[in-house]
Copies of this chain bind each other. A is one copy, B any other.
């Protein structure tokens, strides 16, 4: 494992944020975190700059770094970008390697299994895997990492919202529909379905945010 201390700390903090141990809005104190993780302030600051990459955290001058609190604009923007990346994947589906297409099918199936078990947390993560697999059809490393960042941000959005079931239940069947269309080579219809899917999901989230938060 050829990784510097700063990189290790960065991934540790990233994990904490994504798992919700550091809720949105939390300030990451240099002194406290440095003491807990047993690294110097300088290395911790380097880790912070690395974390900045994936928008999970923001930096306010002379005030420190905070776990980001995504707003309405962030959500709609994230979904615009998702639409761009995932439809790029769908459009490249015809020439995609079999392994990449299988990953799409597998994610849908696993989401359905998890739903049968009532494990909505696993449904959520399988859903994200499904969409990442869609974007991955484009066979582009840059698209993959961009997509990973978007989904990590989205996980942040979900942390400040209730009832994962409400968000994923209605989309299970649409995921399967989308996968079928791809399997049957109906790429144009798949792209249209994807567009509808994303606008609906985005609206569901933003509506809920308006309810919960003023």
Chain A contact residues, CB within 8 Å of chain B:
2-4, 6, 42, 45-46, 49-50, 52-53, 61, 77-78, 80-81, 83-85, 87-88, 138-143, 146, 150
Contacts A2-B61, A53-B53 given; does A78 touch B46 at CB 8 Å: no
Chain B residues with Cβ below 8 Å from A141 are 77
Copies in the complex: 2
Q: Which residue of B lies closest to A51 (CB)?
A: B49
- Name, among A6, A52, A81, A84, the residue most crowded by chain B CB atoms within 10 Å (CB to CB): A84
| Separation of A193 and B202 alpha carbons in the complex (Å) | 30
* Contact status B78-A142, CB under 8 Å: yes
Nearest first, the 10 A-B pairs at minimum CB distance are: A84-B88, A49-B49, A80-B140, A81-B142, A84-B84, A77-B140, A77-B142, A42-B42, A2-B61, A46-B49
| Known interface pairs A42-B42, A61-B2; A84-B49 also in contact (CB < 8 Å) | no
Q: Which of B4, B80, B81, B87 contacts A61 (CB 8 A)?
A: B4
Q: How far is the CA of A6 from the CA of B50 in the complex (A)?
A: 14
A-B contact pairs, 28 of them (CB 8 A): A2-B61, A3-B61, A4-B61, A6-B49, A45-B46, A49-B49, A49-B50, A49-B52, A50-B52, A52-B53, A53-B53, A77-B140, A77-B142, A78-B142, A80-B88, A80-B140, A80-B142, A80-B143, A81-B140, A81-B143, A81-B146, A84-B87, A84-B88, A84-B138, A84-B140, A84-B143, A142-B150, A146-B146
